[in-house]
Amino acid sequence: MDTPRGGNGPYGYRPYGYNPYGVIARPKKYINPADLPEPFPRPSTPPTPESEQQQPVQDPPQLVLNPSPSRSYTMILSVAKVKSVLSGDSLVLTSIENPNSERVLSLAYCTSPHLRKEGDEQWAFEARDALRKLVVGKHVQFQILYVVPNSKREYGNVFLNDGRNISEAMVEEGWLKLREDAGRKDESEEIIQHLDKLRLLEATARSEDKGLWQSGGERINVQHDMGDPQSFLEKWKGQSLTGIVERVLSGDRMLVRLITSPTEHIQVMTLIAGIRAPTTDRVNPSTGQVQPAEELGNEARRFVEDRLLQRNVKVEILGLSPQNQLVGAVMHPRGSIAKFLLEDGLAKCTDHHSTLLGPEMRTLREAEKAAQAAKKGLFKDHVAKPAAQGGNLDVQVTRVFSADVVFVQNRTGVEKRVNISSVRGPRSSEQSEVPFRDEAKEFLRKKLIGKRVRLTTDGTRPATEGFDAKEVVSITLNDKNINLLLVQEGWCSVIRHRRDDTDRAPNYDELLLAQEKAKEEKKGMWSGKPTKAKQYIDASESVQKAKMQVATLQRQKKIPAVVDFVKGGSRFVVLVPRENIKLNFVLGGIRAPKSARNPNDKAEPFGQEAHDLATKRLTQRDVEIDVFNIDKVGGFIGALYINKESFAKVLVEEGLATVHGYSAEQSGNSNELQAAEKRAKDARKSLWADWDPSMDEPQEQEVTKGADDSAPVSREKDYRDVVITNIDESGKVKLQIIGTGTSALETMMTKFKSFHMNPSNASGLPGPPKAGEYVAAKFSEDGQWYRARIRANDRTAKEAEIVYVDYGNSEKMPWSRLRPLSQAEFSPQKLRPQAVDAVLSLLQLPTSKDYLADAIDYITHATANKELVANVDYTAPEGTLYVTLYDHKTSENLTDSINKDIISEGHAMVPKKLKNWERGFGDVLKTLREKQEEAKTQRLGMWEYGDLTEDD
């Protein structure tokens, strides 16, 4: 029984006369293309690979006429679109009205070589390619002539819109031949005429050696993988190959046959660079269940199929995925398929291929933004990110915290911390990056510190557990993007953002590309040769270390340095890269008011203002320093210059410091400072806001050069009983003034000893001690507890240098041997420290190390364990006493002193340049000079080789 038209078959029952492909009753006429519906719908699911397709039956089929012998086969034509071809004799058609409907139609009475899993037949690819070029993507008219019952395979004729019969065109070119059983059944007159024509065309093609009938020609060899992916990439990277899209699996991946030569083809899975499309329906191999597609996944696949399936494309070979799949830019005649997918909202950009695409990634980003703005496809619910608050700001970089974090200050003085967008400096958690942290930070510091830059806010990161909120920004200096510069030089890596993370740098793709280039060129932290981390030796850790370094620094002028930390208006921690040291630095010649060290402390008037000015002008800045001397705790005293200007002068001129006459004369810039102070007074700035000129007293000039323009200060008698408790390496002494203070000290020390003998008071320090903190310490020589103060800390060794405040001696001691001095009855407020700084008057000790040691030994022997009388000749502004010592058992008059004995033995000399107060000691100076001449004559002490001052 004949099968009714549109009846049972692979598409189920249809009423007579219905055809899902569109029935047009135009006897013996062809369809006008203008009558076809526009635009053409997108195609549906891809065909099964040819190796899995059921091939046309080779045995003579059982023919069933369709629909009845009484109708001419030219009466009814249907319209469809050719989705693909399976071989030179089979096509996959899709319905124009419903692209999801497909059917396979084989060309009636003809056959061609086939592509088979076990091996392609000769000329199979060429035959299929000829049919592919002829019909794929075009609208055709077709009629079904017969159906093979057992396979339900349909056979018929297909016509192009120009009227050409596909079978005849293929036979004429030699790519089809008639089946051996063609015409054996009773056929209509029209069919017999058709077959005769085909036989004639076949004979002609055979005689002309066309297609299948050619005698020569090499067979195309198809390789179904890349072989060694890396070798393939090395050979073809950057080249553009012609390819044929054999199958589309999803919007962003397809099976492409790359034509590497006329006879060598490579069929590989290819990922479209720069995008990610949603997944399509797929079957889970383990369960057989169909996993549904992601939103618009099937639509994205049909979009690509409709444009590329079995079309010639250009594939630019870019790279490999982590799974060693080929990544390339796929181009059809109108351009990049990735761009068109993005514009229709059927894919999103992916960062993983950004470095492969380079500048072309910008085009894809713009296409994605256009789809977002139009709310197309995947972006139908897109909400545009609100513009970041702040926009473009003109700010000054005040501090560099790390290679990716800086502090900036706007024009109103408000400071904030910002993170540089999309980049990350060397991480402390990565062993290979740790050695580069300081270098990366220094690179950024030199570029930005103190500079005015343009800040563009790219987004914010909300606060999370353990992390504060972050503002991420792009920084531009002189039209150069600092984010990019850091990556180009290899000092920062690029953060891999989440796909939905929009808080990123606008030049993110450029950053990724720059990172790859920096890695190739082995720049910065990608060099693979980590430099040894720079370690600065703390020259101010102790007085001894400071003394070892001071002479070297004094010989140099304008030493390049970096202010690492601002402790106050005139006190800083300074790094000296040339000497590989850091030191505590104090501005000489001035006194700045103190700022509060802790929140509960109270600052001196204008102390915080001085501190703030120093922080703003000096933090992390390149400066120059001159070193004059060291103080009693290892700090270096000198001048500091920022942009060739003395910062001491800046403080004084702003009324935030006063001139200290004595030290200003020593520094050699007294006139400059005095002039600056006068300007501050006249302007009534800060400290001088209430200054009254009538109450102003002339500054004391404490250093002279022998001029007679100032009257000497007369010597006064101020005798005190004292005990020398310590003599340091420079000859300065510590003494106790015997009286109520020493009596109170004895009483307190008795209680102090009892307190620390009690086991309940044996608890140690609650934490690491701080410099300047008072503690209780157990002296190593006698095992007794004394009051002490922290001078310096070695946090690595957990050791502190301490000074015993009642005696003046010092030593290093582990933190574990210290206890808190928190008891009110032992505090410095209850009883001030009893050791007083003192200098022996009118003596200049030798500079030679050996002679100085002899002098100290002599002074120690002359003063040890003795109660002496000291005349306080002068008290310096910082509290140091200048004294003449007398041993009441041997001294008979004012000139018969221990000071005189020291000169008599050749262990010191009379200063050639006298201070103002020293010039009032005429009688004493005369006696001392006479003793000095006697010591020279007798070649005593430092004079053993003659007069050392003759060349002065």
Tokens 């982590």: give the residue: 322
**pLDDT computed for residue 18 by the predictor:** 33
Question: Are 614 and 623 a contacting pair, CB within 8 Å?
Answer: no
**pLDDT computed for residue 288 by the predictor:** 78
**pLDDT computed for residue 738 by the predictor:** 86
**pLDDT computed for residue 713 by the predictor:** 53
Report strand pairing: 221-223 vs 177-178: unpaired
- What mean pLDDT is predicted for residues 107-136? 89
Residues 6+ apart with CB under 8 A from 133: none
Structure tokens at 419: 């993170």
Whether 44 shows a pLDDT value over 50: the answer reads no
Q: Which of 142, 184, 139, 106 is nearest to 32 (CA)?
A: 139
- What mean pLDDT is predicted for residues 462-489? 85
**pLDDT computed for residue 22 by the predictor:** 38
**Cα–Cα distance between 114 and 675 in angstroms, integer?**
103
Name the CATH topology of 393-526: OB fold (Dihydrolipoamide Acetyltransferase, E2P) (2.40.50)
Whether 831 shows a pLDDT value over 80: the answer reads yes
Using a 10 angstrom Cβ sphere, with 0-12 exposed, 13-18 middle and 19 or more buried, the burial of residue 383 is exposed
Phi, psi torsion values for 344, nearest 5 degrees: -90, 5
Q: Where in the chain is the domain with CATH 2.30.30.140?
A: 733-833
Percent of the chain with pLDDT over 90: 48
Residue 588 CB coordination number (10 Å): 25
Q: Which of 262, 264, 253, 109 is nearest to 187 (CA)?
A: 109
**Cα–Cα distance between 654 and 679 in angstroms, integer?**
9
**Cα–Cα distance between 750 and 761 in angstroms, integer?**
15
Percent of the chain with pLDDT over 70: 86
Of residues 169 and 694, the one with the higher pLDDT is: 169
pLDDT band at 51 (very low <50, low <70, confident <90, very high): very low
Q: Which of 367, 395, 363 is nearest to 379 (CA)?
A: 367
**Cα–Cα distance between 640 and 642 in angstroms, integer?**
7
- What mean pLDDT is predicted for residues 374-383? 90
**Cα–Cα distance between 703 and 462 in angstroms, integer?**
61
List the CATH code of the domain at 733-833: 2.30.30.140
**pLDDT computed for residue 221 by the predictor:** 83
Lowest mean pLDDT across 10-14, 155-159, 641-645: 10-14
Name the CATH topology of 841-951: OB fold (Dihydrolipoamide Acetyltransferase, E2P) (2.40.50)
- What mean pLDDT is predicted for residues 151-178? 92
pLDDT digits (tens, 9 = 90+) for 799-815: 999 999 999 999 999 99
pLDDT digits (tens, 9 = 90+) for 614-673: 999 999 999 999 999 888 889 999 999 999 999 999 999 999 999 887 667 766 778 889
Question: Are 25 and 76 a contacting pair, CB within 8 Å?
Answer: yes
**pLDDT computed for residue 912 by the predictor:** 86
Q: Is the pTM of this model over 0.85?
A: no
Mean pLDDT of the chain: 83
**Cα–Cα distance between 600 and 620 in angstroms, integer?**
27
Q: Which of 169, 244, 179, 246 is nearest to 205 (CA)?
A: 169
Whether 702 shows a pLDDT value over 90: the answer reads no
Whether 35 shows a pLDDT value over 50: the answer reads no
Question: Are 348 and 279 a contacting pair, CB within 8 Å?
Answer: no
**Cα–Cα distance between 414 and 928 in angstroms, integer?**
62
Residue 888 identity: H
pLDDT band at 181 (very low <50, low <70, confident <90, very high): confident
Phi, psi torsion values for 220, nearest 5 degrees: -75, 130
Helix (H, G, I), strand (E, B) or coil at 437: helix
Question: Are 475 and 403 a contacting pair, CB within 8 Å?
Answer: no
Cα separations in angstroms, 886 against 6, 117, 688:
135, 117, 44
**pLDDT computed for residue 714 by the predictor:** 55
**Cα–Cα distance between 725 and 707 in angstroms, integer?**
38
Question: Are 699 and 674 a contacting pair, CB within 8 Å?
Answer: yes
Cα separations in angstroms, 648 against 292, 657, 673:
76, 8, 8
Structure tokens at 345: 């909202």
Lowest mean pLDDT across 35-49, 315-329, 407-421, 592-606: 35-49
Question: Are 407 and 399 a contacting pair, CB within 8 Å?
Answer: yes
Q: Is the dihedral of CA 482, 488, 493, 498 positive or negative?
A: positive
Q: Can you give the length of the chain in residues? A: 952
**Cα–Cα distance between 354 and 363 in angstroms, integer?**
11
**pLDDT computed for residue 68 by the predictor:** 34
- What mean pLDDT is predicted for residues 454-480? 83
pLDDT digits (tens, 9 = 90+) for 410-464: 888 888 999 999 999 998 888 888 889 888 999 999 999 999 999 999 888 776 6
Of residues 186 and 710, the one with the higher pLDDT is: 186
Phi, psi torsion values for 130, nearest 5 degrees: -65, -45
**pLDDT computed for residue 838 by the predictor:** 93
pLDDT digits (tens, 9 = 90+) for 903-918: 999 999 999 888 888 8
**pLDDT computed for residue 710 by the predictor:** 44
**Cα–Cα distance between 748 and 760 in angstroms, integer?**
19
Helix (H, G, I), strand (E, B) or coil at 725: strand
Helix (H, G, I), strand (E, B) or coil at 758: coil
Tokens 């169909």: give the residue: 290
Out of 1.20.1250.20, 3.40.50.300, 2.40.50.90, 3.10.450.50, which CATH number does the structure's domain 78-213 have? Answer: 2.40.50.90
Q: Where in the chain is the domain with CATH 2.40.50.90?
A: 78-213, 221-379, 393-526, 537-597+604-691, 841-951
Name the CATH topology of 221-379: OB fold (Dihydrolipoamide Acetyltransferase, E2P) (2.40.50)
**pLDDT computed for residue 950 by the predictor:** 56
Structure tokens at 62: 């059982």
**Cα–Cα distance between 778 and 896 in angstroms, integer?**
40
pLDDT digits (tens, 9 = 90+) for 240-282: 999 999 999 999 999 999 999 988 899 999 999 999 999 998 8
- What mean pLDDT is predicted for residues 141-166? 90
**Cα–Cα distance between 733 and 136 in angstroms, integer?**
105
Helix (H, G, I), strand (E, B) or coil at 145: strand
List the CATH code of the domain at 537-597+604-691: 2.40.50.90
pLDDT band at 582 (very low <50, low <70, confident <90, very high): very high
**pLDDT computed for residue 915 by the predictor:** 85
pLDDT digits (tens, 9 = 90+) for 292-333: 889 999 999 999 999 999 999 999 999 999 899 999 999 988
pLDDT band at 832 (very low <50, low <70, confident <90, very high): confident
**pLDDT computed for residue 70 by the predictor:** 33
Whether 476 shows a pLDDT value over 90: the answer reads yes
Using a 10 angstrom Cβ sphere, with 0-12 exposed, 13-18 middle and 19 or more buried, the burial of residue 222 is middle
